[in-house]
């Protein structure tokens, strides 16, 4: 379980971007973090995965304080797919994914074990990147590259997977592909998935639970269908919504309203 | 496609061809000069030196063992150091244009070296190694200063900003060097002169000074080869997959400074070796540091021994400073890499 107590954070030391935030993430659930720009969604995610150190409070990962864990230990618990992945030199897809196993190798005498090989092969299969594993990452498309980095994250074999606005640099097809994959993983292997979502309909489709942030603190929290209501969203974003039910899937559909339509 | 085919083939036998070329150039480097020495005389000279035989006349023996071999050996070692330093800086800074020269580390190290020569300093404990040690420290602090400064401009340490910072530092350091030269007497002036990038006329002890630094640095860098791979994908991604980013960054930057500082202390500033060699080595074997590090080391030796031979024959009997050759080759390649990067960024 990942939980945090009374977390606060500030980028400039004056204005608080996260204020006294406490939250516990249930195991095996898919948590979506939503909120308007500047609400601290990404900051909160970065604190949860140990990238940023909070001003006050600490994060607990399976009973251990994250501030006391080494990067290696964190990497065995939490895998992160960032918004945008850059590369300087063009590695083979295969080699890129293999880097996900660094946390499991001893630093002095690294050797490639059978378990490493299995983890990488699994990741290649799950993300269907195995047919491009000999290609260079400069040769493949942006969507495929994102899948390669997802495979790298899968190779870490962590119980927790974080995604920071996964749809930001992907087209719809690739977004759905990746999120479906994660859903499958969540259901089959009981992984915990935490995503920052801009797109409320994606949040509605995939999340079990939603944490809505505003001004760096919890605005509302609960089951997806309880949080995604017209009143809450209007208060959260300051604009009007209309919420409908998709009778086929029983998921909520969020429709944006405009003064002109 | 063709590039991949070449890479596949060479991946299986990566060290065979370069080692052979290195050996060939070594022999060529000893053989070529104002007195040309045939291959069997070289072998005989070695035999005379190590097994107390007496095949060749003393003057040939002197030329081979006291002039040519030390020179070629030094060229090889300096080339290996600079190429490795280039690989280290490029990996950790995610910058294919980074090398001891373009980052200003070499200039900083030369200031340190001239400082030692000018004030005739000898530090306790390191005594004999005072010159390289001070050069290394000056180089490292120059690098830290550069990174601190560039961070203020641009947190992501953008490729071009970093090189721009390197130019500022280089200009400042060369002004300092000129100042030292103005205040020094004639004898010292010649000493400082060979700090401008020269490998001729140095005894075997210069190679022996450099060798421990090269071995130590290679071991450190090779021990971090996977970390270097991870760092080229950016520090955030590296941290997520479990790299101790801060520690690795400092270790690699310091090791790069050891290599550049030690090289500068024995041969002065020889530019662009760390830029050219890793670039071509990457084209041949790909970016994996497990292969890139050892192969760049060999190729660096090849490149500098080759440049040295070239600098001796092109205007014979006159001799060009070796730095002229490396810059003549390096600067255009710098431009080409810059163009390639811009084009790739457009595509992404």
pLDDT in tens, A35-82: 998 888 989 999 999 999 999 999 999 999 999 999 999 999 999 998
ipTM of the complex: 0.89
Phi first, then psi: what are they for A217, rounded to 5°? -145, 165
Mean pLDDT of B250-262: 93
Smallest Cα distance from B36 to chain A, Å: 44
Residue of B nearest to A145 (CA): B348
Mean pLDDT of B193-205: 73
pLDDT in tens, A84-102: 778 889 999 999 999 999 9
Phi first, then psi: what are they for A64, rounded to 5°? -120, 140
Strand pairing category for A160-164 and A78-81:
parallel
Band of residue B347 on the pLDDT scale cut at 50, 70, 90: very low
Q: How many other C-beta atoms can be found within 10 angstroms of the C-beta atom of residue B209?
A: 19
Residue of B nearest to A142 (CA): B348
Nearest to B239 among A51, A76, A152 (CB): A51
Band of residue B185 on the pLDDT scale cut at 50, 70, 90: confident
Share of chain A above pLDDT 70, in %: 98
Q: Is the confidence at residue A108, as pLDDT, over 90?
A: no
What pLDDT does residue B195 have? 65
CB contact under 8 A, A90 and B96: no
Mean pLDDT of B68-76: 93
Q: Which of A104-118, A199-213, B92-106 shows the lowest per-residue confidence on average (mean pLDDT)?
A: A104-118
- Could you tell me the pTM of the whole model? 0.89
Classify residue A3 by burial, with Cβ atoms within 10 Å: 0-12, 13-18, 19+: middle
Q: For residue B344, list chain A residues with Cβ-Cβ distance below 8 A.
A: 138
What pLDDT does residue A33 have? 95
Average pLDDT of chain B, as a whole number: 86
Nearest to A71 among B226, B244, B344 (CB): B244
Nearest to A89 among B4, B241, B287 (CB): B287
State how far the Cα of A214 lies from the Cα of B181, in Å rounded to an integer.
64
CB contact under 8 A, A85 and B230: no
Higher local confidence (pLDDT), B177 or A221: A221
Q: Is the confidence at residue B296, as pLDDT, over 90?
A: yes
Q: For residue A110, list chain B residues with Cβ-Cβ distance below 8 A.
A: 226
**Distance of CA A37 to CAs B232, B278, B292, B316, B329, Å?**
30, 43, 43, 69, 50
Q: Is the confidence at residue B301, as pLDDT, over 90?
A: yes
CB contact under 8 A, B240 and A96: no
What pLDDT does residue A174 have? 80
CB B101 within 8 A of CB B109: no
Mean pLDDT of B183-206: 72
Give the residue from A73, A102, A150 showing the smallest Cα distance to A59. A73
Smallest Cα distance from A159 to chain B, Å: 14
Q: For residue B286, list chain A residues with Cβ-Cβ distance below 8 A.
A: 90-92
Residue A166: cis peptide before it, omega within 30 degrees of 0: no
Mutation site for A-interface testing, chosen from B224, B240, B288 by largest number of A Cβ within 10 Å: B240
pLDDT in tens, B78-97: 999 999 999 999 999 888 98
pLDDT in tens, B309-331: 998 888 877 888 888 889 899 99
**Residues sharing a CB contact under 8 Å with residue A189, sequence separation 6 or more, in sequence order:** none
State how far the Cα of A70 lies from the Cα of A64, in Å rounded to an integer.
11
pLDDT in tens, B276-290: 999 999 988 889 999
Nearest to B233 among A72, A85, A108 (CB): A85
Mutation site for A-interface testing, chosen from B226, B235, B241 by largest number of A Cβ within 10 Å: B241
Q: For the residues of B77-111, what is the DSSP string, one character each?
A: HHHHHHHHHHHHHHHHHT-TT--TTTTTHHHHHHH
Q: How many other C-beta atoms can be found within 10 angstroms of the C-beta atom of residue A67?
A: 11
Q: For residue A136, list chain B residues with Cβ-Cβ distance below 8 A.
A: 4
Size of interface A-B (CB pairs under 8 A): 82
Share of chain A above pLDDT 90, in %: 56
CB contact under 8 A, B242 and A72: yes
H helices of chain B, in order, are 2-12, 16-31, 39-51, 58-62, 69-93, 105-119, 130-153, 159-183, 186-194, 204-223, 225-231, 235-240, 245-267, 273-285, 289-313, 322-347
Q: For residue A92, list chain B residues with Cβ-Cβ distance below 8 A.
A: 286
Q: For the residues of B237-261, what is the DSSP string, one character each?
A: HHHHTT--HHHHHHHHHHHHHHHHH
Smallest Cα distance from A98 to chain B, Å: 10
Q: Which two tokens stand for residue A99?
A: 């880097």
CB contact under 8 A, B96 and A87: no
Structural Rg of chain B based on CA atoms: 20
Mean pLDDT of B303-312: 92
State how far the Cα of A59 lies from the Cα of A51, in Å rounded to an integer.
11
CB contact under 8 A, B233 and A88: yes
Q: Which of A102-116, A137-151, A211-225, B130-144 shows the lowest per-residue confidence on average (mean pLDDT)?
A: A102-116
CB contact under 8 A, A85 and B234: yes
State how far the Cα of B139 lies from the Cα of B148, in Å rounded to an integer.
14
**Residues sharing a CB contact under 8 Å with residue B255, sequence separation 6 or more, in sequence order:** B88, B217, B220, B221
State how far the Cα of B93 lies from the Cα of A50, in Å rounded to an integer.
22
Q: For residue B229, list chain A residues with Cβ-Cβ distance below 8 A.
A: 91, 95, 99
CB contact under 8 A, B286 and A72: no
CB contact under 8 A, A105 and B95: no
Give the residue from A221, A220, A206 showing the smallest Cα distance to A252. A206
Mean pLDDT of B250-260: 94
Band of residue B338 on the pLDDT scale cut at 50, 70, 90: confident
Mean pLDDT of B135-151: 92
CB contact under 8 A, B229 and A85: no
Residue of A nearest to B286 (CA): A91
What pLDDT does residue B189 have? 67
Q: Which two tokens stand for residue B290?
A: 């497990």
State how far the Cα of A48 lies from the Cα of A220, in Å rounded to an integer.
18
What pLDDT does residue B203 have? 80
Q: Is the confidence at residue A14, as pLDDT, over 50?
A: yes
Q: For the residues of chain A, what is the DSSP string, one character each?
A: -EEEEEEEE-SSSSS-SEEEEEEEEPTT-EEEEE-STTSSHHHHHHHHTTSS--SEEEEEETTEEGGGS-HHHHHHHEEEE-S----SS--BHHHHHHGGGGGGS-SSS----HHHHHHHHHHHHHTT-GGGTTSBTTTS-HHHHHHHHHHHHHHT--SEEEEESTTTTS-HHHHHHHHHHHHHHHHHH--EEEEE-S-HHHHHHH-SEEEEEETTEEEEEEEHHHHS-HHHHHHHHSS-EEEEE-TTT--EEEEE--TT-
Residue of B nearest to A87 (CA): B233
What pLDDT does residue B348 have? 46
Residue of B nearest to A76 (CA): B242
């Amino acid at each position: 379980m990942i939980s945090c107590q009374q977390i606060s954070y500030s980028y400039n030391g004056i204005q608080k971007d996260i204020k006294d935030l406490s939250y516990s993430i249930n195991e095996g659930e898919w948590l979506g973090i939503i909120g308007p720009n500047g609400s601290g969604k990404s900051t909160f995610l970065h604190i949860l995965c140990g990238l940023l150190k909070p001003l006050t409070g600490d994060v607990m990962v399976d009973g251990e304080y994250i501030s006391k864990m080494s990067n290696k230990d964190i990497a065995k618990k939490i895998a992160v797919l960032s918004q945008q992945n850059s590369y300087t030199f063009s590695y083979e897809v295969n080699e890129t994914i293999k880097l996900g196993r660094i946390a499991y190798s001893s630093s002095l005498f690294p050797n490639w074990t059978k378990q490493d090989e299995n983890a990488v092969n699994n990741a290649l299969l799950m993300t269907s990147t195995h047919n491009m594993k000999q290609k260079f990452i400069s040769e493949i498309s942006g969507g495929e590259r994102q899948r390669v980095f997802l495979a790298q994250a899968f190779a870490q074999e962590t119980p927790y997977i974080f995604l920071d606005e996964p749809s930001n640099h992907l087209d719809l097809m690739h977004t759905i592909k990746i999120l479906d994959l994660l859903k499958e993983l969540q259901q089959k292997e009981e992984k915990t998935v935490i995503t920052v979502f801009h797109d409320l309909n994606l949040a509605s489709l995939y999340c079990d639970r939603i944490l809505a942030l505003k001004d760096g603190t919890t605005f509302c929290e609960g089951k997806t269908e309880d949080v995604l209501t017209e009143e809450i969203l209007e208060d959260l974003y300051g604009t009007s919504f209309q919420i409908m039910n998709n009778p086929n899937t029983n998921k909520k559909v969020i429709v944006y309203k405009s003064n002109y339509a | 496609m063709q590039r991949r085919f070449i890479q596949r083939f060479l991946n299986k036998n990566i060290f065979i061809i370069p080692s052979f070329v290195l050996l060939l150039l070594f022999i060529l480097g000893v053989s070529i000069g104002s007195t040309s020495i045939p291959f069997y005389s070289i072998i005989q000279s070695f035999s005379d030196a190590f097994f107390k035989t007496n095949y060749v006349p003393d003057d040939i023996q002197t030329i081979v063992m006291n002039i040519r071999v030390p020179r070629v050996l030094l060229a090889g070692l300096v080339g290996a150091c600079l190429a490795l330093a280039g690989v280290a800086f490029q990996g950790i800074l995610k910058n294919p244009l980074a090398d001891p020269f373009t980052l200003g580390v070499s200039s900083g190290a030369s200031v340190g070296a001239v400082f030692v020569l000018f004030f005739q300093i000898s530090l306790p404990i390191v005594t004999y190694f005072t010159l390289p040690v001070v050069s290394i420290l000056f180089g490292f602090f120059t690098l830290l200063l550069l990174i601190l400064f560039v961070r203020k401009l641009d947190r992501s340490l953008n490729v071009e900003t970093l090189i721009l910072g390197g130019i500022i530092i280089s200009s400042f350091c060369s002004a300092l060097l000129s100042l030292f030269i103005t205040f020094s007497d004639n004898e010292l002036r010649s000493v400082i002169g060979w700090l401008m990038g020269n490998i001729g006329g140095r005894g075997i002890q210069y190679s022996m000074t450099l060798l421990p630094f090269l071995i130590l640095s290679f071991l450190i860098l090779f021990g971090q080869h996977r970390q270097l791979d991870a760092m080229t994908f950016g520090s955030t991604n590296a941290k997520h997959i479990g790299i101790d980013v801060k520690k690795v960054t400092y270790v690699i930057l310091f090791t790069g400074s050891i290599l550049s500082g030690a090289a500068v202390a024995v041969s002065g500033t020889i530019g662009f070796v760390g830029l050219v060699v890793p670039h071509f080595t990457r084209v041949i074997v790909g970016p994996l540091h497990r292969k890139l590090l050892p192969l760049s080391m060999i190729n660096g030796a090849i490149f500098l021994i080759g440049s040295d031979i070239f600098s001796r024959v092109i205007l014979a009997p006159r001799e060009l400073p070796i730095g002229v050759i490396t810059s003549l080759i390096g600067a255009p390649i710098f431009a080409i890499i810059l163009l390639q990067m811009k084009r790739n960024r457009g595509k992404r």
